[in-house]
A and B are shown apart, each in its own frame.
Chain A
Amino acid sequence: MRNISVIFLKQLKDTLKNKAVLIQFVMFPLMAVIMENAVKMEGMPENFFVKLFSVMFVGMAPLTCISSIIAEEKEKNTLRVLMMSNVKPFEYLCGVSSYVWLMCMAGTAVFAVCGKFSGKDLAVFLLIMAVGIMLSELIGAVIGIFSKNQMSATSVTVPVMMIFSFLPMISMFNDKIEKIANLTYTQQLSDVVNELGNFTVTVENILVPVVNFVFAVVLFVFAFKKRGME
């Protein structure tokens, strides 16, 4: 537990000085606040920008942050130094992912306040965002573990992040893309967020994220066995 908190605190201090990672936590919540207050159009769904950006936030911020943090530590061999100091891979991943999760949940709180969610809607919103963030973190960790350095991590992270964060938005305009997007957890998350007032959850809304999660776990185990944490 001590090592997890050490890694958590290290990451907290480090990220405050790392603009590339910090901007990921701030960008979408800030954009939601600005757009919700600046754009008022007739016929526009309630909390349109909050719902849109929150899904994009889940697909982008945790994924890019985790992969970038792990890849940087691998590139500079600081991860190896940690491992040589008896920090277990599990402790490192817990420390980093709990930090990213908390930062993303802080961003989620901004979305919730901006959307004026309360009661059951707030609870459902926080729950699905929390689960979505964890799933994105797992995918980000897979990319980070597979990558040798930050450049190779970025080249994989960008297309993967584009799929998970932008497909739900694009699917609004194209039925064929929607069929593909339905296979992603972010699309399911988007569906639930868009139905917040009615609170209808389908089997698909649960099954797809579960399958995505299992797939991500398999990839994570494969990446870890093949590359390890060094």
Chain B
Amino acid sequence: MGKAIEIKEICKSFGEKKVLDGISFSVENGEIFGLLGPSGAGKTTLIRILTGQLKGERGEALVNGINSSELTGRECRQFGIMMDDFGLYERLSCFDNLKVFAGIYGIGKSRIYEVLEAVGLGNSVKKAASELSKGMSSRLRLARVLLHNPDILFLDEPTSGLDPATAEEIQGLILAEKAKGRTIFLTTHNMAEAEKLCENIALLDEGKIVEYGNPQEICRRYNHRKMLKIHLKSGEDMEISHDEKSAEIVAKMLKDGTAETIHTSEPTLETVFMTITGKELAK
């Protein structure tokens, strides 16, 4: 397992505003990595730097061992990039949208049908992109990204603004790509999505990485309260400490059948982010 992405001390400013301030982390091959942060935290800027669309002022961003500022078009073909603002040819059908890129990549028509089927647009092949719902447009943009079987996928807020069912479908597709061994770098402000998909995440705030690691480990690391939340059949809620002393109480409640649900009180990524920055992640 080599490193697919390596970022060392990347800095980027727009005018007076410092958007990225000494960012460093790496992503292993075949990993799903999530960059989490509120809007304006610098997530999209980092993707643009990684894909060679922007240049960092300081530091180094290596993708497949190549400095991202020196990526050629040929090397970019190994990536699939789904940015929020990358549009579609609205007047063309789903099939024709992909046919443009199939032509550029030298891919046959059968792959177009295959990938449209995979993203659930098999019945909308002839539908114009302008007639697609937001969820279907996202799926078509994902199909465009997957068309040429890239090694690394850069997905910028892939489920942003989608209904839960469509978001879950997209997440399923992302996991399917991971199963094929692809490296996936995604940005999101949806912590549930990050916990579900990502092996590692970085929390980004005001251009700085404020936390990095496996989502579950991060949550455990911030589990200072260590309490058990018990909902009783009588409708009452109670909290007891999560230690040896409580074992007897819990055992008794289970024996009596007085406890309806028992939960540990580990923080979510949202609460971790709030603990660190004092801000909400989803804003």
Contacts and interface: CB of A to CB of B under 8 A. Distances in A.
A147 B87 CA distance: 17
A202 interface: no
B272 interface: no
A162 interface: no
Interface in B109-165: 128, 144
B104 A85 contact: yes
A77 B87 contact: yes
A83 B83 CA distance: 14
Interface stretch (A5-13, A34-42, A96-104, A135-143): A5-13
Contacts of A80: 53, 86
Nearest to B96: A13
Contact of B74 (A2, A76, A82, A86): A86
Contacts of B87: 76-78, 81
B18 interface: no
B89 A85 contact: no
| Of listed A14, A18, A78, A84, residue having the most chain B CB within 10 A | A84
A109 interface: no
A17 B53 CA distance: 31
A6 B104 contact: yes
Contacts, number: 65
A87 interface: yes
Contacts of B91: 14, 17-18
Nearest to A7: B100
B90 A76 contact: yes
B127 to A, nearest CB: 13
A88 B73 contact: yes
A84 B105 CA distance: 12
A143 B103 CA distance: 28
Nearest to A81: B86
**Contact count band on A:** 20 to 34
B81 A2 contact: no
Contact of A6 (B73, B79, B86, B103): B103
B278 interface: no
A3 interface: yes
A84 B104 contact: no
B101 interface: yes
B85 interface: yes
Contacts of B90: 76
B49 interface: no
Contacts of B81: 81, 84
B101 A84 contact: no
Interface string A66-86: 000000000011101111111
Closest 7 CB pairs of A and B: A86-B73, A76-B87, A6-B103, A17-B91, A10-B100, A85-B104, A77-B86
11 contacts: A3-B103, A10-B92, A13-B96, A14-B92, A76-B88, A77-B86, A83-B73, A85-B77, A85-B104, A86-B74, A87-B104
Given A5-B103, A82-B104, A84-B53, 8 more contacts: A6-B104, A76-B87, A81-B81, A85-B76, A85-B104, A85-B105, A86-B104, A88-B73
